[in-house]
């Protein structure tokens, strides 16, 4: 609810008389008093704007928080970016429209070479807000602090065809699948069952709604000695499935349940060309010899990988390094049913808990990642993150499997990871 407007007096500028409105507002740093001057005819911003312009849209008392149109967001972001040096670090704080202004502005700023950071220390703080009245949408940004503060605004008239439909908000969604005390390397749905891969076995567990039968297990037969940080991957297509381990490949059937393994390596289905995982290692390598831990396929035949130094690295269609980003332990690609483009989920250790990780969602813009306002604190350390893409649906990247190890209880839990949409 907006605070009531109160007349604070008049100000004369030549022959023109402008009203000065005084009101109480909740700013970014608490409840403060602002006295911005407004042109009462609409959203016009006078030359001598007060110290905080974030709430100048209160010129019409019935204005309410709504997302700006895509065109307005693009124009607004361009004006804000023009007021900030390229490559500068920016701490973005937006209010008033369920986070959409911050998402759109963040995407555009990153695309223009401006870095977004989570802390305001050593960075330029940009406070923004987008609102609407009966005639217009408007966005305004307050850039910097103190004497260096600048104000940028953009407005756009409403269409007469009716209210604008807000852009969808894309968010991470986590659903538990299975938990146990033995280590889980991966899980996959094969026919009417859930397959659970451990270092020693593949276990078949009936899905909910199927006849209640006891789980069945088959041993992974091999003479190999596993590396210290063992990784394993499952791929299922109907009742048939494959198991990929370092230097070992297994093939099986869910109905009837059977498994046969051989000490031979094959390329793993991880979305990028590779020779599989060597028997004594836990990393992959491209045909060009570039080593990495995980890969997320992107639009245009590109990839985002976690390299051997634990850094996010963009590869072009020829698998050449084109850019490097922040540190990450895991990466996987996800697609949204309601928004175009590539999304990736990354994982890093939680700043609040040494034995827990946090999943973060980002949209890919060229060779940069634009953070989305969606994070999930996991109940432990993420030990595996695999795309759940089916061989018969190579373009379906809407699911992933996350395996979490609770260091306190010793339990492993597998989750289904996807994207949800809201308007």
**Cβ atoms within 10 A of the Cβ of 208, count?**
6
pTM: 0.64
**pLDDT in single tens digits along all 423 residues of the chain:** 333 333 333 333 333 333 333 223 333 333 233 333 333 233 343 333 333 333 333 333 233 334 445 667 777 777 888 888 777 888 888 776 556 667 777 777 777 778 888 777 778 888 887 777 667 777 888 888 666 678 888 887 776 455 555 567 788 999 999 999 999 999 999 988 999 999 999 999 998 887 778 899 999 999 999 998 999 999 999 899 999 999 999 999 998 999 999 999 999 999 999 999 988 889 999 999 999 999 999 988 899 999 999 999 999 999 999 999 899 999 999 988 777 888 999 998 887 777 899 999 998 888 888 888 788 999 999 999 998 654 444 445 678 999 999 999 999 999 999 998 865
Give yes or no for a cis peptide into 256 (omega within 30° of 0): yes
Distance between terminal CA atoms of the chain? Answer: 21
The CATH number for 170-422, chosen from 1.10.287, 3.60.21, 1.20.120, 2.130.10, is: 2.130.10
Question: CA nearest 111: which of 362, 392, 319?
Answer: 362
CA-based torsion, 80, 83, 88, 89: positive or negative: negative
Give the rounded distance of the alpha carbon of 387 from its chain centre. 15
- C-alpha span between 105 and 128 (Å, rounded): 9
89-95/124-132 β-pairing: parallel
CA-based torsion, 275, 276, 277, 279: positive or negative: negative
Q: Where are the domains of the chain?
A: 1-165, 170-422
């Amino acid at each position: 609810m907006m605070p009531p407007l109160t007349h604070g007096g008049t100000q004369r500028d030549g022959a023109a008389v402008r009203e000065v409105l005084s009101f109480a507002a909740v700013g970014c740093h608490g409840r403060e008093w602002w006295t911005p001057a407004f042109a009462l005819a609409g959203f016009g911003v006078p030359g001598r704007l007060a110290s905080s312009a974030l709430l100048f849209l209160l010129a019409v008392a019935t204005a309410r928080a709504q997302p700006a149109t895509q065109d307005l967001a693009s124009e607004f972001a361009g004006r804000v970016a023009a007021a900030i040096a390229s490559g500068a670090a920016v701490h973005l704080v937006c209010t008033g429209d369920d986070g959409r202004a911050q998402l759109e502005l963040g995407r555009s700023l990153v695309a223009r070479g401006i870095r977004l950071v989570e802390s305001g220390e050593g960075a330029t703080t940009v406070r923004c807000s987008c609102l609407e009245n009966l005639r217009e949408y408007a966005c305004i940004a307050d850039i910097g602090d103190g004497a260096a503060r600048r104000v940028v605004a953009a407005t756009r008239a409403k269409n007469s065809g009716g209210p604008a439909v807000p852009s969808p908000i894309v968010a991470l969604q986590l659903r538990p699948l299975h938990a146990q005390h033995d280590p889980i390397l991966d899980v996959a749905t094969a026919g009417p069952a859930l397959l659970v891969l451990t270092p020693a076995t593949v276990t078949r567990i009936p899905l909910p709604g199927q006849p209640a039968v006891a789980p069945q297990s088959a041993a992974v037969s091999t003479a190999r000695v596993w590396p210290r940080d063992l990784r394993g991957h499952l791929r299922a297509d109907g009742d048939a499935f494959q198991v990929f381990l370092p230097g070992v490949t297994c093939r099986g059937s869910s109905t009837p349940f059977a498994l046969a393994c051989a000490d031979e390596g094959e390329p793993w289905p991880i979305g990028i060309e590779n020779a599989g995982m060597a028997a004594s290692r836990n990393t992959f390598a491209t045909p060009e010899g570039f080593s990495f831990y995980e890969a997320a396929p992107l639009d245009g035949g590109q990839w985002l990988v976690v390299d051997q130094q634990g850094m996010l690295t963009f590869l072009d269609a020829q698998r050449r390094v084109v850019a490097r980003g922040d540190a990450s332990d895991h990466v996987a690609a996800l697609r949204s049913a309601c928004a175009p483009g590539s999304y990736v989920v990354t994982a890093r250790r939680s700043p609040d808990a040494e034995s827990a990780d946090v999943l973060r969602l980002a949209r890919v813009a060229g060779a940069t990642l634009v953070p989305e306002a969606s994070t999930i604190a996991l109940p432990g350390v993420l030990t595996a993150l695999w795309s759940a893409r089916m061989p018969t649906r190579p373009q379906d990247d809407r699911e992933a499997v996350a395996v979490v190890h609770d260091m306190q209880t010793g339990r492993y839990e597998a989750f289904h990871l996807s994207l949800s949409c809201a308007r």
